Each structure stands twice: as structure tokens, then as C-alpha cells.
Amino acid sequence: MNPKSPIASTSVLADGAIPQDLPFNLEVENRRPLDIVNGPSKVLVKAKKNGANGGAKASPPPFQRDLASGDYTAIELLDGLKVERDTLNEVAPLVSERSSFDRNQETLERLQYRDDQFRLLAEQSPDLILRFDRAGHILFANSKIEGATGLSADMIIGKTWAENGLKPKCVVFWTAIVEKTFSTGREQDEEHACDFPDGVRTFEVRTALEIVECGEPQSVIAIARDITQRRRNEQDIMELSQRLLYLVNHSPLAVVEWHPDGACISWDGEAECIFGWNRGDALASSISSHQLIHPAHRFEFEEIFESLKNGSQSSAYTLCRTIHKSGRILHCEWFLSSLRDDSGRARSVLALVNDVTEREKAVHEIKEMKEALESAVERRTALLKQTNEELKAEIANRRQLEFDLIQVSEREHRRIGHDLHDGICQELAGIRYAVEAISRKLENQMDVQEDLKSVSEGVHRAIHHTRQLSRGLAPMELEHGDLVAALSELVENSNVLYQMECVLDLRGEPPKLDMVAATHLFRIAQESVQNAAKHGKASNVKIQLDFTASPAQMIIQDNGSRLHPNPNAPKNGMGLKIMQHRAASLSGTVTVNVLEAGGTEVRVLFPLVSSPDAP
């Protein structure tokens, strides 16, 4: 048999399927991977009988299983080869009438076909499959060898592992296991870690002798399965188990386990601290779960325990009162879960218990404190609400009083203005006329004429000044809401009365305001001009009325001395309070600022509200 014979005699289709023209029917029983058959053969080779006329051979049926499914092991093929050779010996007497040459030829063809079958199955196997002779030469290797070593099958066949450049440790292993298989004639199972270019891999290796017709060992079949990932997983599981065990042993939670019948089968040290029973007493007396639960919560707990046992739920949580060995009542959190076997039956119920008695006490105290605080807050809120209502009423009364005072003040201004205009001015005018009449009667007395003329001029000046005062106290324009006209007259009178330069800067179209709004704005401007003249000794005052801004604004600036020597000093004079009240009555604001260059600025911001009778 040529060890390098190609597999082309039974080719694999492009999609991985097996051709249906094989002359034998293989029935392979599903077995666990890498099991060596020690009993009856699991691979049966059935030869079809000849046709009805005994002439041509019947067409063989197809494979009974998909080779790519992985439900077989390559070593099963070895069993099949053994059975095939035994079958050939049994069939030989039936065809003894044939010539020796025909029998030999048929045997060779069958052996060749079986070798092709072996190669085909080996290529489909996920494991490394090798064949060695006694000298350790590799007679066959499937294509998986290239993924492991980086060497193709054609490169290594006919050579030993040493000749193929494998590391000495691996060469020693393979040489030893092949020799042991030949010498003992028994199958060998060993595990080997081999260093490959991509890292160390662990293989589970199984070898078996291949038997020829005469019973002499010809070669050794070796199957190597890569179990590197399995070992890594086992190591990870071991580490996780150790970590889990450490966490359980050092957990602040009590770990208790019960059998489904209710008997206690596990009791750790933390459970001793929480419940008061030591481990020996707990296991010896088989403390059941309901013995630890307060009667008020026992029914609910038993329902949860039963649902974990019958599988209706896998885990549960409950917070209930628990009984200490001394009878003391505890508050504990229970984290319950069921541990099940492969069939789904509950093997045990595991409980992690956390003593939260102190926490529950603190929660109860906090709840009581919260209720007390809420009660105090309610009482204080009611008191503050009452106080607030009283304060609002007081503020409303004060505002009404301030409003009434301003109204009284305005009425007094108008009354005094009218009295000055209609009373004193008329009296002064009468005095002037009387003086002029006396002057005409005494025209010949020049010295008396001089005095009378001086008296007449003084009276005239008094009349003019009184009229200005009366108009300042009660400008007639304000009664019609004409703020601009009233401010223009204020500018003219200020220039005469205070001997200063006072100007009005108007921006935008002035609306017609109601009398109250116009009066408040006029009085603020009048107060600012008087303060600039009397206290600031200002020589220039500018009144700017801007109706283009939103809100509208009135700005009075002067170049007098600072309103307050200390800019941080409180500005709580009566005049400022009245101005603030007037601005608030307009839903506006007033601010007084000291300018960097000297002087004072009074800025009033107010919304525009036209008079109801405005066109």
C-alpha cells in the first residue's frame, strides 16, 4: 500500500458532501469522541449481493451519515479496517473457485478502497490523525497537521518528527508512545503539551495498532485532539470556584442550604453569628427553614420555599422577621435560589441571609423623625401663611396710605398753587395797581416817584415768582396728561429760578399719558432738578425722555457735587423714598447713580400705558 496515495479515488464535493458512488455501505454507531472499541466492531462493512443473474455487482448504497457532522471518531475507522480484513478472510472460501490472481486483485482493490475511505474520513475529522511505522516515520497525516505545525502533510510524510524539526520534547514523546504501542500491543492514552509557533497547545493523544491479515503489526494509528481550550476552561472554572469559595467564606452574609425535604445540610460561621446556633447543633438537629421565621411571615416564606422546590421560580427575595436562638426578633433579608440537577429537579435551596435589624431600627427612627418634622413643618407653614397674609394686608394698607398721602399732597399742591395764583397773585397785583395810582397822583414829587417805582417793580417780580411757584405746584398740562409740556415749563422755570442751564432731550413720539402717570413722572423730574440745584449746586441739568426704548425711560443728569460723599452710604432719604414709591406706582423702577466724571444720574424705567381717552 502506497502511504502517499492520493484521496482522489473517492473525492469530496465542493460543498463538503460525500459522493454517492461508494461500493460499500458504512453504518457507524454514534459514539463518544476518542473512545477505542474494545468489544464488537462499531463500523460494519456490508457487501451487496450480486444481481439476480449473478453477473454484475449491485450498486452500493450511499453513506448512512454525513461525515462532516462530527458524530464519529477516526479511531472507529480503524475498527472498520479490522472488520474489513476479517470479512475478506470469511469471503475468501466463497470465491475459492476463482483464480488466485483474481482473488489477490480483488483483495488489493478492496484494501485500496478501504485506504481511500480512511483518508476521506480522516480529512473530515476535527482531530489530528497520523500513521507511524516502527521506525517512527510518518506514513499518513490529515490536513489538520498544517494548522498545528505550519507544515503540510506532503512535507512531513516519510520523515520522523526529528527530521521535520519538531522540538526535542515533542520528539521524545511521540517516539516513546509509538514504541510503547508496538511493544505492548495495547492502546495508549496520554496527554501532551507541545510548543508550537503560535504558543503551547495541549493534546489528548490515543494510539492503536493497525493489524494486517497475518496478524503482524504494520503501523500505529494516532489520534490527537487539541484540548487546549478545554484545559483553559477547566482552569478558569477552578479559579472561579476558588474565588466563589473565598467570597462565600468571607461574605458578611450567612450561607445556609436546605434539602428539598427541609433538612439543613449547610450552615456557615456567619449563620452562627446571626441565628445563635452553632454549625454542629444546626446540622444535628436539622433546623428547618420555617423554624427560623417569625409566625407572622412563616406562611409567605413557606410559599416561596415551595415554589423554589417545584421549579416555578429559580430565585426569590424577601424581607421578614426572623427568630434568634434566644427568642430575640431579628429583621433579615433572604436571598433564596434553587440548585438543580441536569434533569431540572431541585437538589437543594440556598439562602444568603443579611441581618438588617439595625438598619430597620434606623429606618423606623427616621420615619418617626420624618413624621414629626412634617408635622412641625405643617404647623410652621400654617403660621407662616397666616403671618404672610397679615404682612400682605399690612403692605396693602401701607401702599394705600402712601397712595392717599401722595394724593393728598397732590391736592395740596394744586390747592396751594391755585391759592397763590388766585389769591396772593391777585392781592399783589392790586397792590401794584395801587402803587401805580399813588405814583400818578404824586407825579411832581420825584423822590417819591423813585420809591414808588421800585416798590412797583418789586411787587411785579413777586407776582411773577408766585405765578411760577403756583404753576410748579399745579401745572395745568398734567391734568391733560401732557408730560412733555409740563417738563418744558419745568425747564424754563428752573433756568429762571435757579440760574442754571436746564435742557429737555426728547426721543421718540410721546404718547398721551393719564394724569396719574404724568404727574408721577413730573414729580420725579422736579425732585431731581431741585436736588441738583439745592444740594448738588449744579450748573447744568439734562432731562432725557426716551420713548423709543422698551421700557421707556427718563434720565436726569447733572454736573453737581456727588449726592453722597460715600458712594456706599445708604440712600434712604424721604425724597428718594417718594420717588421710588412713585416709580413703583407706574410698575417701574428708579435708580440713583453717582457718575464717574462727577454729578448724579437718576434713571426711571417705566412701561408705556396710554391714557384711556387717548385717540
pLDDT in tens, 79-103: 444 444 444 444 445 444 557 778 7
Task: Return the H-helix or E-strand segment holding 519.
Answer: helix 515-534
Please indicate, yes or no, if residue 567 is contained in any of the structural domains: yes
Question: What ranges in 100-215 are assigned the alpha helix state H?
Answer: 100-124, 144-149, 153-156, 168-184
Reduced 3-state DSSP string for 253-277: CEEEEECCCCCEEEECHHHHHHHCC
Is residue 76 pLDDT above 70, yes or no? no
Mean pLDDT confidence for 108-137: 87
pLDDT band (50, 70, 90) for residue 504 = very high
- Does 225 fall in a domain? no
Same domain flag for 265 and 331:
yes
Residue 380 confidence class, pLDDT cut points 50, 70, 90: very high
pLDDT of residue 543: 93
Q: CA torsion angle for 227, 14, 32, 344 (degrees, to 10)?
A: 90
The reported pLDDT for the residue numbered 556 is 94
Phi, psi (deg, nearest 5) at residue 392: -60, -45
Q: Are residues 341 and 456 in the same domain?
A: no
Res 17 pLDDT > 70: no
Same-domain pairing of 304 and 320: yes
Could you tell me the CATH number of the domain that includes residue 550? Answer: 3.30.565.10
Q: What is the pLDDT averaged over residues 378-386?
A: 92
Domain that holds residue 261: 251-355
Query: How many angstroms separate the CA atoms of 377 and 380, rounded?
Result: 5
Per-residue pLDDT reduced to its tens digit, 540-582: 999 999 989 889 999 999 998 855 444 444 455 677 888 888 8
Asked if 52 and 157 sit in the same domain, the reply is yes
Residue 425: predicted pLDDT: 64
One domain, residues 207 and 118: yes
Q: Is the pLDDT of residue 241 over 80?
A: yes
Structure-derived torsion over alpha carbons of residues 423, 429, 432, 438, reported in degrees to the nearest 10: -90
Q: Which of 474, 493, 518 is the last residue of a domain?
A: 474
Give the model's confidence band at 69: pLDDT under 50 very low, under 70 low, under 90 confident, else very high: very low
Residues 349, 456, single domain; the answer is no
The predicted pLDDT at position 353 comes to 93
pLDDT at 571: 52
Three-class SS of residue 21? Answer: coil
Rounded to an integer, the average pLDDT of 373-377 is 93
> Which residue did the predictor score with more confidence, 113 or 53?
113
Regarding whether 460 and 484 lie in a shared domain, the answer is: no
What is the number of structural domains in the chain? 4
What is the predicted pLDDT for the residue at 52?
35
Q: Classify 322 as helix, strand or coil.
A: strand
For residues 484 and 464, state if they share a domain: no
Residue 80: inside a domain: yes
Query: What are 197's three cell numbers?
Result: 509557533
Rounded to whole angstroms, the Cα distance separating 113 from 396 reads 116
Within-domain flag for 132: yes
Residue 529 has pLDDT above 60, yes or no: yes
At residue 426 the predicted structure's pLDDT band, cuts being 50, 70 and 90, is: low
Given pLDDT bands bounded at 50, 70 and 90, which one contains residue 129? Answer: very high
Residues 133-155 pLDDT 10s: 989 999 999 988 888 888 888 99
489 — pLDDT class (breaks 50, 70, 90): confident
Q: Residue 201: what pLDDT?
A: 87
Percentage, residues of the chain above pLDDT 70: 70
Let me know whether 567 and 466 are in one domain.
no
Nearest to 612 by CA among 494, 508, 501, 516: 516
Residue pointed to by grid coordinates 516515520: 137
Query: Which CATH number goes with the domain that contains 88?
Result: 3.30.450.20
